[in-house]
Structure 1
Amino acid sequence: MKAEQKTVLITGCSSGLGRFTSDYLSKKGFRVIATVRKESDAVNLRKAGLECLLLDLNSSASIKENAEKVLEITNGVLFGLINNSGIELLGAVEDLSRDDLRLCFETNLFGTIELTNSFIPVFRKQHGGKIIFISASNSNGFGYPFLGPGNATKSALETIASALKRELRYTGISVSTVCPDELCTSLLPNMLRYSQHIITGNKSVHSRSYSLLHQKFSHPHTAKNANYKFEIIARSIVKILHSNNPPRRIVAPFSARLHYLAHAILPEWLQDILLFHKMKRGSGVEL
């Protein structure tokens, strides 16, 4: 494809990794179409010179409408799709309702795959395209305490991405996952908002843990620690977009690679000891 045709669609760009990557790719010469859920966020992105659409991944109608708009403004050509949008919930499994789980899976998995499927025919027609899923370094089945729903959706997403990559073999369409640290993508503000009814519940035996974790995740240092990693992740995305044979998975930054390796090779009992020590030291939570 010619340079002027290298248009990428990025979901979840109101803040965090999505916003950073949108600006980063734009500076690298890509035409970026960013999606957000709220008009106020769209206004901010447009002021920064980015094209922006309103997308709700919980709505099939919104997904269909956005796919049509993207193809309309790009004359039916799309170079890459970066599935970054997602939510995280803070809560013990026993405190989660069916609606809590459904919300997480609808956004992180069902809506993401539905949007992806909307563009696969386009990629097939043009004999090429890049599909990128933003996952997590623990997407190999490891479940962090109180972060189970998000972990489950990322593991499921990784499995579907693996199947999709094999199904699209020899089509010229690449499928890659980028796996940063858990919560490295600045889901923290939304996580606390979506989880407020769980955190403030009076009957949970985990109330003290919720309070400690809320303090940790609300601390400015936690957000700052996530922010500095964005450029490393964005560079990984650019690497995939520029590659003729993109890697199936990139785990970045280095701390994420350590986590990924530990989950893969350490026995579960040792992982638990290390995790519980880290939680107690980092937030005061004891399990």
Structure 2
Amino acid sequence: MTQKSILITGSSSGIGLDAAHGLRAAGWRVFASCRKAEDCERLRGEGFESPLIDYTDADSIVNGLAATLEATGGTLDALYNNGAYACPGAVEDLPTDALRAIFETNLFGWHELTRLVIPVMRAQGHGRIINCSSVLGLVPLRWRGAYVATKFALEGLTDVLRLEMRDTPILVITIEPGPITAKIRENAIPHFEKWIDWQSSARAAQYAELRSRLYDEKGPDRFEMPPSAVTKKILHALTSTRPKPRYYVTHPTYLMGFLRRILSTRMLDAVILRG
């Protein structure tokens, strides 16, 4: 039986790295891509095939996929879009260029890679595209406007793609994790420092709490789960004959998904503001 192949983006740490290890252990041929050459080298040292793919670099997307297809003989069973970052800050303090930058990584690059993969999957007669969204693709959270905007947009784009692919052999699936042990907090700091002039903000005093959460290591969130919880759902999405359109991961995602269905907007806002 031919070994199935998957291309995973954002594999340097966290969810992507755990998925790479978990899927390889399950028998998949894993192409664990990263956006930095040194991370690709590290993963190659761990025995992975690791093409360089930076969502903000169109050439790297084309070349990374081409290298993957050359290695497989032109086929790809699954794509897991995962690489993303956060840029914390109040919406009123968020420069529009910061939004443009985060959308390049968190949405536009995903779209570009997905469009290149679809013809491959059409030609081979099967394929699964899994997009990693977030609980913040379901509900908003203060100080997370840039990240929330990209995930809300991703949810809509993925939903439309899923509907459009119904007449093809390509399945489109969304994963929606809540708090997962990863480096998203640490990785957000350079973007916060680059874009947010918090000292000049009308909310300067309120930034103390946000900066504390960003810079102070306070241990895991009480609802936090390991990345393996996401990998478990990915495996189900890849192997089930009838995968779910979306998979929740962690209790907060289940709770917020439920509350979004039953509460009015005003009531949901009140719950989120208290949380």
Q: TM-score scaled by structure 2?
A: 0.93
User: 2:36, 2:54 within 8 Å by CA — same for their partners in 1?
Assistant: no
User: 1:7, 1:31 within 8 Å by CA — same for their partners in 2?
Assistant: yes
Partner of 2:169: 172
Gaps of 5+ in 1: 279-287
Distance 1:226 1:8, change over 3 A: farther
Q: Does 1:121 align with 2:116?
A: no
Q: Distance in 2 between matches of 1:99 and 1:198?
A: 9
User: 1:217, 1:223 within 8 Å by CA — same for their partners in 2?
Assistant: no
Decide which moves more: 110-119 or 167-176.
167-176
Q: Distance in 2 between matches of 1:268 and 1:184?
A: 30
Secondary structure of the 2:200 match is coil
| Amino acid corresponding to residue 199 of structure 2 in structure 1 | N
Partner of 2:20: 22
1:253-268 equivalence runs, <5 A:
253-268=250-265
Question: CA RMSD, aligned part only?
Answer: 1.9
Q: Distance in 1 between matches of 2:268 and 2:72?
A: 47
Partner of 1:238: 235
Secondary structure of the 1:33 match is strand
Alignment length (residue pairs): 275
Distance 1:185 1:260, change over 3 A: farther
Distance 1:216 1:79, change over 3 A: same
Q: Distance in 2 between matches of 1:96 and 1:252?
A: 29
| Equivalent of 2:101 in 88, 100, 103 | 103
Q: Does 1:34 align with 2:37?
A: no
CA apart distance, 1:221:
4.1
Secondary structure of the 1:53 match is coil
Distance 1:218 1:234, change over 3 A: farther
Decide which moves more: 43-52 or 221-230.
221-230
Decide which moves more: 73-82 or 44-53.
44-53
| Equivalent of 1:8 in 6, 10, 14 | 6
CA apart distance, 1:95:
0.7
User: 1:90, 1:195 within 8 Å by CA — same for their partners in 2?
Assistant: yes
User: 1:199, 1:207 within 8 Å by CA — same for their partners in 2?
Assistant: no
Partner of 1:132: 130
Distance 1:47 1:208, change over 3 A: farther
Q: Distance in 2 between matches of 1:205 and 1:51?
A: 48
Identity score, percent? 33
Q: Distance in 1 between matches of 2:144 and 2:177?
A: 15
Secondary structure of the 1:36 match is coil
Partner of 1:162: 159
| Equivalent of 1:62 in 60, 63, 69 | 60
Q: TM-score scaled by structure 1?
A: 0.89
Secondary structure of the 1:132 match is strand
Distance 1:166 1:184, change over 3 A: farther
Partner of 2:213: 216
Spell out, residue by residue over 1:229-252, the C-alpha distance to the aligned partner (whole angstroms, 9 max, x if none).
311111000001101221111111
Secondary structure of the 2:130 match is strand
User: 2:181, 2:225 within 8 Å by CA — same for their partners in 1?
Assistant: no
Partner of 1:205: 202
